[in-house]
A = this chain, B = another copy of it.
Amino acid sequence: MMARPDAGEKATPTSTQLLAEQAAQKMFLEDRASQSLGMRILAVRPGYAKLAMTIRPEMTNGHATCHGGFIFTLADSAFAFACNSHNLRTVAAGCLIDFLAPAYEGDELTAEATEQALAGRSGVYDVLVTNQKGQRIALFRGRSRQVGGTIVDTSHDAA
């Protein structure tokens, strides 16, 4: 996710992809939560993000399985990277998660967020969380809201 020389060009497929990568890079640097939980960004594109996280012992709860909160947090981060991929500052308004199967200590979870709709300042994103065997762990649907401003400052790019 390093900067590329064509960053100042108009929004071509290349530059929208570049912006998505730059926005994700900047967000991740500021996102102590996602970092401290060991999340890794596997891919980011306009309207899309894929993250991974390994379930640590301190993420488990009283049923000896991963606390649902950490599954949600991974999905919510993937959602955040996907809905900020257009370089327009966006926050979560509301999210639904359905837990399908338990996750266990040591599991490698992947969350894949895909834009379903974006109209005006509101968007809807679906996130699928799977484990290292490809089993579905959770389905997440998030509603986003643009709040004004950008992630990466592009105002000097035309200079």
Residues of A bordering B, CB below 8 Å: 26-34, 36, 57-64, 66-70, 72-74, 76-77, 80, 84, 89, 91-101, 116-117, 119, 122, 124, 136, 139, 141, 143, 145, 151
Q: How far is the CA of A74 from the CA of B62 in the complex (A)?
A: 14
Q: A139 — which chain B residues lie within 8 A by C-beta? A: 116-117, 124, 141
Least Cβ distance of A62 to chain B in Å? 4
Q: Which of B67, B94, B122 contacts A33 (CB 8 A)?
A: B67
Q: A95 — which chain B residues lie within 8 A by C-beta? A: 68, 72, 96-97
Q: A96 — which chain B residues lie within 8 A by C-beta? A: 94-96, 141
Q: How far is the CA of A119 from the CA of B94 in the complex (A)?
A: 14
Q: Which of B61, B68, B93, B151 contacts A98 (CB 8 A)?
A: B93
Interface contacts beyond A33-B66, A93-B93: sample of 11 additional A-B pairs, CB < 8 Å, sorted by A? A27-B61, A28-B62, A33-B60, A61-B80, A68-B76, A68-B92, A69-B72, A72-B95, A93-B122, A95-B97, A98-B141
- Contacts A67-B76, A76-B72, A122-B145 given: A61-B30 contact, CB under 8 Å? yes
